[in-house]
Amino acid sequence: MDVRKLISFGKNSHIVSLPKSWVDRNKLKKGDLISIHEISEGLILKTGHREIKEEPRSIIINAEDKDIRLVKAEIITAYLNSYDTIEIISKKLDTNATQIKDVLMDLAGLEILEQTTNRFVAKDLININEISIKSIIRRMDIITRSMIEDAIKCVDTNCDPGSVHQRDADVNRLHFLAYRVIRKALSDPRIAEAIKRNPLQLQCDESIIMRIEKIADRQKRIARYVKGTQLSGEELEKLKKIYSTIQQAYLDVMKAYYNNDIQLAYKVELSNGERINACNDFLTGHTHCDLQIKGKKGQKCDYRMACASTALILENLKAMATSVKYIARTVLGGE
């Protein structure tokens, strides 16, 4: 770190010398103007006296002879790296046009401006300076709460896993948007200042967003796996009780986050072992589930499949509980 001494200059000003390496690198000379941008964390010095506007960034993705999964990954990477225009080209683009269009439409703020048999052009229309990270977190939370409610109902009643799956896609869309804003704010203090978040807050935001996205993803899986179980009514009630306990822990930890309630966050953190143990105990009780699960009269029962589904549900519940614990730790370690 280079430390410079502040020198008094006249009655109303102070001066500080600039590093010669920075002056040389920017080809500055005596009399050149330097713009000063004041933020809460300090000052940003830029060459020139006008407000610097970033030039729009564009990228061309060649999808020729590429696996569609790779093309999707390249599109998402370009989005997260804040490219303003994303162009996808290929002589055989119409083969995967629907899948590519779905990816572009699942990225918040992207608008498809052009679509031909060999070219897609999408443009970002979001003003990143007007994005509220807290609002995104709240929206993700609201959607995830509804997913948990419906996934619990799936345990002992018929439900539509597709509905839960669709809401998971909505959470993913918000997750990508938030991650993009956070990356940009961490690399540009002016954006961090505009959205009123400092680096520590942005780090905490990223952790919270990542954990909520993981919790939402678990609901999608549980809703799908629960259809493969064939548990008795008593066992289903035990499973629902465990699920509801983890649900309450999630509600409590998000309350702790919104209210900066340290004591509630501690409570969630310290009680997490009980929730994990409850999952393990239930799973241990079904080690020989092929002897305990009974199919309905006249119905064939795939015991191994039913056991696997039960185990997968419990593993996802444990992962959900772990994510809740890490949200509590973020609240405890945040600002």
Residue range 125-168, pLDDT digits in tens: 988 888 999 999 999 999 999 999 999 988 877 677 888 889 99
| Position 256 pLDDT exceeds 90 | yes
Least confident of 26-35, 67-76, 139-148, 252-261: 26-35
| Contact status, residue 320 vs residue 242, Cβ threshold 8 Å | no
Structure tokens at 15: 């001066």
Q: What is the pTM of this model?
A: 0.80
Fold category of 58-124 in CATH: Ribosomal Protein S8; Chain: A, domain 1 (3.30.1370)
Q: How far apart are CA 53 and CA 129, in angstroms?
A: 13
Distances (CA, A) of 153 to 72, 91, 253, 265: 33, 47, 22, 27
**If you average pLDDT over every residue of the chain, what do you get?**
86
3-state secondary structure labels for all residues of 15-42 = ECCCCHHHHHHCCCCCCCCEEEEEECCE
| Contact status, residue 214 vs residue 143, Cβ threshold 8 Å | no
Strand 42-47, strand 34-39: pairing: antiparallel
Q: How far apart are CA 28 and CA 20, in angstroms?
A: 10
pLDDT of residue 45: 72
pLDDT of residue 290: 43
Percent of the chain with pLDDT over 70: 87
Residue range 92-130, pLDDT digits in tens: 888 888 999 999 999 999 999 999 989 999 999 988 888
| Position 307 pLDDT exceeds 60 | yes
Q: Which residue has the higher pLDDT, 30 or 104?
A: 104
pLDDT of residue 31: 75
Structure tokens at 114: 């052009």
- DSSP notation for 203-218: HHHHHHHHHHHHHHHH
Chain centroid, CA 227 distance in Å:
28
Residue range 81-91, pLDDT digits in tens: 999 999 999 98
Which residues, including other chains, have CB under 8 Å from residue 193's CB and lie 6 or more apart? 39, 40, 41
Per-residue pLDDT, averaged over 10-34, amounts to 77
pLDDT of residue 299: 44
pLDDT of residue 1: 63
For the chain, which residues make up each domain, given as ranges? 7-47, 58-124, 129-333
pLDDT of residue 259: 96
Q: Is the torsion defined by CA of 134, 139, 142, 148 positive or negative?
A: negative
For residue 77, give the 3-state DSSP assignment.
Answer: helix
| Contact status, residue 252 vs residue 145, Cβ threshold 8 Å | no
Fold category of 129-333 in CATH: Methane Monooxygenase Hydroxylase; Chain G, domain 1 (1.20.58)
Partners of 34 in the β-ladder:
47, 48
| Contact status, residue 306 vs residue 289, Cβ threshold 8 Å | yes
Q: How far apart are CA 261 and CA 239, in angstroms?
A: 29
* Look-up of token digits 């649900």: 247
pLDDT of residue 65: 87
| Position 292 pLDDT exceeds 60 | no
Percent of the chain with pLDDT over 90: 56
